[in-house]
């Protein structure tokens, strides 16, 4: 029962952040919800997610070692 109450307050926080972001130009509804969900997290959770995204981006970057120069 405690978990359901916590998720209700979490969702209320997400909605509040979403409403504050609604005035942003050039951002669609899905992006607004995505940003609201991100900013509703604790600073530690946001940091962890940012690190995961950075690591993922680095792993997708083409490596200079893979390029073979044929001369």
For 10-69, write each residue's pLDDT tens digit: 999 999 999 999 988 898 999 999 999 999 999 999 999 999 999 999 988 776 665 555
User: What is the C-alpha to C-alpha distance for residues 27 and 5, in angstroms, rounded to an integer?
Assistant: 31
pLDDT for residue 23: 85
pLDDT interval class at 2 (50, 70, 90)? low
The DSSP call for residue 3 is H
Question: What are the φ and ψ backbone dihedral angles of 17, each rounded to 5 degrees?
Answer: -65, -40
Q: Which residues of 23-44 are buried (b: 16+ CB within 10 A; e: fewer)?
A: eeeeeeeeebeebbeeebeeee
């Amino acid at each position: 029962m405690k978990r359901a109450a916590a998720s209700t307050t979490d969702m209320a926080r997400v909605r509040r952040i979403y409403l504050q972001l609604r005035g942003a130009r050039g951002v669609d509804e899905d992006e607004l919800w995505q940003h609201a969900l991100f900013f509703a997290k604790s600073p530690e959770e946001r940091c962890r997610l940012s690190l995961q995204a950075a690591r993922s981006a680095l792993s997708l970057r083409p490596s200079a070692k893979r390029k073979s120069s044929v001369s």
